Amino acid sequence: MKCSADLCNLKIISINEGKQVSTVKDIIIDPSNGSVAFFVIDQPIDYLGARIIAFEDVLGLGDYALIINDSSVIQDVAHNSLAIELLEREVKVIGSQVLTTKGGLIGQVSEFMIEEETGRIAVFNLEDEEGKTSQCPCDQVITYGRDIIMIEQGKKTAQTSNKERKLCHGIWWDYPHYTAQTSNKERKQDTAVSSVNNEERLKKKIEEFGKNDSLLKSQANSNEGSEAGEGSKDTEGIEFSKDFNVFEQRQLQFLVGKVLAKDVKLETGSTLKAGERISKESLAGVKSRQTLMQLTAHVMK
């Protein structure tokens, strides 16, 4: 088992080259199977300029390093449609609210652990509104969303009878054999008064979900200062379609100045020619997600 916090800053070692080729900066989660799909190894202002390593290309994941065969497994985010799709879904897990299928709010994910062999998320560490912590095995998860994780009702928290434990970033983790446990406080939530309180709390949380900044917007804001002026220049002159979300707007910004390997016809009837650099003005003709994906796929490496 490995904490998600321990994954960042891991050295990436190439066996064939016999050297460190980079470090892990972030991870990309696949919500369809609740596992780590990619490791981000460079993290510039725009995620589409980053490079990634697929979990399936990792030979070993230890306390000191992530091991790959050679640098050929390193990919550009912009040329991996699955990575782009997962980034657009913005599932980060940490900070997500955990709810039961009956509408009970269990807590917020403060950390999680993965299985080194599979990349699967195995257990959450949860914190409730009073600051109390509990752990929840991830085999209870029904859905991973951007801001909400749904688990089965009646399997809220867990503890293990196995004495194997691990201290990671100030948290004692018990694994791997979990048994369901319900506290007296949780039983009291079945009363009418608690149900009303839970309903009000859920409404408040759900109202807040839509106000959360996206992954890429937060990344851009973190680079304010000397880079802020440069970022604002990149967006000047680009007319975004109202249908494009923040991530797709960042994709358009990424395309400025790039060269296409293949002609792409725009909704306006004009065509972006292969071999020509993409200008801000020409991107005004991009009106659909399908055209945006075509442009991204045909950018020269």
Q: 293, 82 in Cβ contact below 8 A? A: no
**Same domain flag for 155 and 74:** no
- Asked whether the predicted pLDDT for residue 262 surpasses 80, the reply is yes
pTM for the full predicted model: 0.58
Q: How confident is the model at residue 54 (pLDDT cuts 50, 70, 90)?
A: very high
- Asked whether the predicted pLDDT for residue 45 surpasses 70, the reply is no
Q: pLDDT value at position 294?
A: 77
Q: 245, 252 in Cβ contact below 8 A? A: no
Q: How confident is the model at residue 118 (pLDDT cuts 50, 70, 90)?
A: very high
Pairing of strands 35-40, 97-100: unpaired
In a domain, 66, yes or no: yes
**Same domain flag for 122 and 195:** yes
Last residue of a domain, one of 26, 59, 89: 89
Range of the domain at 272: 224-297
Q: pLDDT value at position 11?
A: 93
Structural domains in the chain (count): 3
**Same domain flag for 34 and 103:** no
In a domain, 246, yes or no: yes
Q: Which residue has the tokens 């791997």?
A: 176
Q: What is the pLDDT of residues 144-190, one digit of tens each?
A: 998 999 998 765 444 444 434 455 545 544 554 433 333 344 434 44
Q: What is the pLDDT of residues 275-297, one digit of tens each?
A: 888 888 888 888 887 787 778 77
**Selection from 240, 245, 242 nearest residue 280 by Cα:** 240
Average pLDDT over residues 190-215: 44
In a domain, 219, yes or no: no
In a domain, 37, yes or no: yes
The residues that bridge with 65 in the sheet, in sequence order, are 11
Last residue of a domain, one of 89, 106, 138: 89
**Selection from 125, 29, 119, 122 nearest residue 66 by Cα:** 119
